[in-house]
Amino acid sequence: MKMVMILSTVGPFMKMVNNMIKCTNCNNTETYVKLYKCTYPVKGIPIEVESNRRFCKKCNNLVFDEVLDNETLLKAFKIYSQKYGIDPGKIIELRKNLGLSQSLFSKIIGCARKTLVSYEKGTSIPNDNFQIILKMLLNDPSTINNLILANEENFNESERKIIKNKIGNSSSIDFFNLIFKNNDSLTEFNGYTKVNIEKVEEMIYVLSDTEISKTKLLKEMFYSDFLFYRDTGKSITGLEYIKLQHGPVPDKFSFLIDFCYSENVIDYKVNLYKDREYNAITSKELKVTKLSNEELEIINKVKKYFKNYTAEEIADYSHKEKAYINPKYKERISYDYAFDIDLK
């Protein structure tokens, strides 16, 4: 009590005195802290958080505590971002992979530097517009070229130079390497194989030598990689697969398809009857030189097996795999589920 009186005469500490912890219910100042579960709405979605909160010793009412309550809110933001939004760590990783400073990256995506800092720290959540921009960049970093074009007049001479050096001369192969550069370690998720850009191209090439729907192509990639792993303990492409609504698909598949398109491996044909569906077909003679005979054999076996399956039928078929049932939505799929695949 005495201490508070002394402090109250000193300017900078006034706030502390004003914020003195006190129960609003019974005015008691004796409190305690305990773990407490509560639900916070973040962007309209209820998020359950367990955190340390302060309570009144007398009436057990929840007592306002600026520090603890802020920590709780940050925790709720973090849970929200992991579940529904963008992991702040991924934003930092993307920016660093592109070799850009916070001030330049924020200019490119069109927000204030302060805003980007708060996204990266996780103290605020990107609004819908920036969620779309950031997700687009995370899926395909080469789309940064469009943003640069769109914001061109906002950069000064030295910024233009930096952009040109860091990004201007990048080819689609550079972007491919950039997006997959963190997949260097050999794990159960890439089938203990380093991602191989040429094999990815060749697999997509072989699978789309007759017109094939996107859904079917992605499933046949999954079966090819997983069956090869079942037989040899290694995947063909080194790609990671994730569980999406319609079945297991290669992670960042839209980037992969776009990449093959920009490298002239395949052509798109828009499917007018189905939303978000399109067909792929090989567009040039590609000499298959990187895939081994054993790898080609598996790919052709998968192709033959599903020859008469429609996109829906192959999606249904894949939904019966443990590789699809066991992982959670959007989670990476361990290649060890390959041993449960029953495909003759």
**Residues forming the site for Zn ion (CB under 5 A):** 23, 25-26, 28, 56, 58-59, 61
Q: Smallest gap, in angstroms, from Cβ of residue 24 to Zn ion?
A: 8
Structure tokens at 8: 């109250």
Nearer residue to Zn ion within complex by CB, 61 or 115: 61
Q: Smallest gap, in angstroms, from Cβ of residue 67 to Zn ion?
A: 19
CB 188 within 8 A of CB 334: yes
Calculate the CA 264 to chain-centre distance: 26
Q: Smallest gap, in angstroms, from Cβ of residue 2 to Zn ion?
A: 23
Q: Smallest gap, in angstroms, from Cβ of residue 90 to Zn ion?
A: 43
Nearer residue to Zn ion within complex by CB, 53 or 243: 53
Least Cα distance to 85 among 142, 48, 143, 133 occurs for 133
Structure tokens at 243: 């569980």
Nearer residue to Zn ion within complex by CB, 29 or 334: 29
Nearer residue to Zn ion within complex by CB, 58 or 135: 58
Query: What are 45's strand-pairing partners?
Result: 42
Q: Smallest gap, in angstroms, from Cβ of residue 61 to Zn ion?
A: 5
Nearer residue to Zn ion within complex by CB, 30 or 188: 30
Nearer residue to Zn ion within complex by CB, 66 or 313: 66
Nearer residue to Zn ion within complex by CB, 28 or 232: 28
Q: Smallest gap, in angstroms, from Cβ of residue 70 to Zn ion?
A: 22
Structure tokens at 32: 């305690």
Q: Smallest gap, in angstroms, from Cβ of residue 89 to Zn ion?
A: 40
- Using CA atoms, how far residue 337 sits from 69, 229, 236, 294, 342, in Å, is 43, 10, 16, 21, 11
CB 197 within 8 A of CB 239: no
| H/E run at residue 40 | strand 31-42
Helix (H, G, I), strand (E, B) or coil at 147: helix
Nearer residue to Zn ion within complex by CB, 19 or 310: 19
Q: Smallest gap, in angstroms, from Cβ of residue 54 to Zn ion?
A: 11
DSSP letters for 178-227: HHTGGG-S--TTTTT----HHHHHHHHHHHTSS-EEHHHHHHHHHHHHHH
Helix (H, G, I), strand (E, B) or coil at 250: strand
> Mind spelling out the 3-state secondary structure of 67-80?
HHHHHHHHHHHHHH
- In the block, tokens 């001479």 appear at 157
